[in-house]
Structure 1
């Protein structure tokens, strides 16, 4: 169960972390920093992207991301329909690899998703020429949430580029972001690997839908709930390492 829960939690807060368009010169004020960018077409979104930082208002998401998630990357490919995008995401947690593939629809510069839960996202202005800053809205039976993610073609951005993202987080009144560490290495791509097994949680998450995210929100929203969840997950991880 811990595999399903943790894979869902991080994908739930990062799954919309998609890709870059041609960006403008450096920006500083909040008005410019939170300005949406028009997406000219899906071709400018295609390719590989590294997840570098994220902030969400889901209770406990930053702490759990920093504690358990080592690194994450995504690959965007064109779908069968002209407005469809396939997003493969691989994330490294507890020294193991988890992956999910989702379908997104691009319409009027907005990326939309139905499974495993309802969400939409837009791109925001950034001075980083090979980065993407993506502002997402998640809707579940338990409420509405927001998130901001930073991705890049590179595995690491400059201090100034990261500082700009943190200012965008502040402008949107979101919590301080969790920063992922590319030095911890990445999961392999979709091809089979004898060295690292990748656990595909696509079907599991689609079946569970928003139920797991709702349960997660209820647990972390209680007094002591986050500590209880951490103890449970830590115990399960310790048991796994002994096997």
Structure 2
């Protein structure tokens, strides 16, 4: 799931919901192995530095979902990621191995390899939080729903602070992957339209990109008293 990087709003009543977790809990892996099969919608993504997630969201504004199916072999799953940007879609499929709160890539023999993604705790009953320590380290919040409550999002914002990642980027909630064109079939005219849409979005969001640059630069300047 390392390469996998939400409109009907379903809400839960607050009565009976678990209280938000504290920071010492949110930074820890889940204790009970979650059931991963089914569709998960990417709600928000955070990266260690603010720029990578911000650029992806502010330029492409993607919608992302992943369909996970069990392969019949214990702990082995197939994940098909669906992405949508400006009316164009593409998908990517890969296998992974789940071992308790860890998710591994697999080799050609379906054996787990590399450093695993880790599933972190959350009080959201139909969410998972995935921390990936790859070339581009991320913390991602996924839900069975296409959108989540404000309280659940605030908890995730606190969670990424707990693990010292940047403010999460909330992704596009357009989850209609049936009515979009395969990006491999894009024409020259459509490419130009796509680029114009990107430019217009950057015009609207460039201030946040500039702020991120400034914050990153300031973080490298030593503070003297």
Structure 1 residues 28, 83: CA separation in 2 closer, same or farther (over 3 Å shift)?
A: closer
The corresponding residue for 2:160 is: 169
Q: 1:108 to 1:152 in 2, by over 3 A?
A: closer
Q: Check if 1:134 corresponds to 2:130.
A: yes
CA–CA distance in structure 1, aligned partners of residues 71 and 183 of structure 2: 23
Check whether the contact 1:65–1:178 (CA below 8 A) recurs between aligned residues. yes
For 1:60, what is the secondary structure of its paired residue?
helix
Native 8 Å contact 1:72 1:186 kept in 2: no
Which of 177, 180, 187 in structure 1 is aligned with 2:177?
A: 187
- Aligned twin of 2:103: 111
Pick one of 62, 67, 80 that aligns with 1:75.
67
Q: Measured at CA, do residues 66 and 114 of structure 1 come closer, stay the same or move farther in structure 2, by a change above 3 Å?
A: farther
Q: Which of 77, 89, 111 does residue 85 from structure 1 map onto?
A: 77
Q: Distance in 1 between matches of 2:19 and 2:151?
A: 10
Aligned partner of 1:125 in structure 2 is: 121
Question: Match for residue 44 of structure 2?
Answer: 53
Runs of 5+ consecutive residues of structure 2 not aligned to the other structure: 6-16, 108-112, 185-189, 197-225
Task: Count residues in correspondence.
Answer: 173
Q: Deviations over 1:180-232 (max 9, x none)?
A: 121x34313xxxxxx534358xxxxxxxxxxxxxxxxxxxxxxxxxxxxxxxx
The aligned runs of 1:201-240 (5 Å cut-off) are 237-238=191-192
- Provide the C-alpha distance between the structure 2 equivalents of 1:100 and 1:170, rounded to a whole number of angstroms: 30
Maintained 8 Å contact 2:63/2:84: yes
How far 1:67 moved relative to its partner?
A: 2.0
- Distance in structure 1 (CA, Å) of the matches to 2:85 and 2:91: 11
Displacement of 1:145 after TM fit? 3.9
Give 1:159 shift.
Answer: 0.4
Q: CA deviation at 1:241?
A: 6.9
2 CA distance for matches of 1:185 and 1:13?
16
Give the equivalent residue in structure 2 for 1:196.
Answer: 180
How far is the alpha carbon of 1:52 from its aligned partner?
0.5
- Tell me, yes or no, if the aligned pair for 1:52 and 1:156 is still in contact at 8 Å: yes
> What is the RMSD of the two structures over their aligned residues, measured on CA atoms?
2.8
For the structure 1 residues 13 and 89, does the alpha-carbon distance in structure 2 shift closer, same or farther, using more than 3 Å as the test? closer
TM-score normalised by the chain length of structure 2:
0.67
The TM-score normalised by the length of structure 1 is 0.62
